[in-house]
Structure 1
């Protein structure tokens, strides 16, 4: 009769310890992603946006020569393009950091 829970030579305590270690690594990766910034620009650098891995914008810079009262739509388009690029880059960066911990395993709700 088998004692306790045994899976592939690993007992329950070993599995719990491994799960705790992975959880600690995931938290560290999330914190690192939240602190890491990525920058994107549009309009040849007329608009620059910086975001963190937790999808927060930390900076928006608009060059003075991008301010044309006759063409507000172009400035709006540049801002949207730069924000979307920054957020996509931040998401990619965060996913890469999380994949390094999970070994590429997709765990819903992490990023």
Structure 2
């Protein structure tokens, strides 16, 4: 028998664990489409995003459009979108950490 073949069984176990983890991650990615976060700026603009970072809705109060110039509205809108995306990323990171046991796996999301 060749020396070191006992480690092949360990390698098979590691590969099996990796494939199981990949399957759980793919399942989580599908579930993230149903996870919703909202972010508001000054209660004038509210952006809703899902866990896949898709923007689902943008709500702007009419008063903002009537009372502010375009540059101000654009800045508030950008802040709301960035806030919602950041909040969704934090949620995704927390769920991935929970799934992977705090092991950083580059390129997952």
TM-score range, shorter chain: 0.7 to 0.9
Stretches (4+) displaced over 3 A? none
Sort the Cα spacing of 1:70 and 1:25 in 2 relative to 1 into closer, same or farther, 3 A. Answer: closer
Q: Distance in 2 between matches of 1:6 and 1:70?
A: 68
Say whether the 8 Å CA contact 1:5–1:12 is kept in structure 2. no
Aligned ranges 1:75-94 → 2 under 5 Å: 75-94=73-92
Q: TM-score, normalised by structure 2?
A: 0.85
How far 1:33 moved relative to its partner?
2.1
How far 1:59 moved relative to its partner?
0.5
Q: For 1:31-80, what per-residue CA distance to the aligned partner results, in whole angstroms no more than 9, with x for missing partners?
A: 2223211100012x111001112211011011111112652222112111
Say whether the 8 Å CA contact 1:30–1:98 is kept in structure 2. no
The answer as to 2:17 corresponding to 1:18 is: yes
Aligned ranges 1:1-111 → 2 under 5 Å: 1-2=2-3, 4-6=5-7, 11-43=10-42, 45-68=43-66, 71-111=69-109
Say whether the 8 Å CA contact 1:41–1:82 is kept in structure 2. yes
How many residue pairs get matched?
A: 108
Structure 1: runs of 5+ lacking an equivalent: none
Structure 2: runs of 5+ lacking an equivalent: none
Q: Distance in 2 between matches of 1:25 and 1:5?
A: 28
User: What CA RMSD, in Å, does the superposition of the two structures yield over aligned residues?
Assistant: 2.0
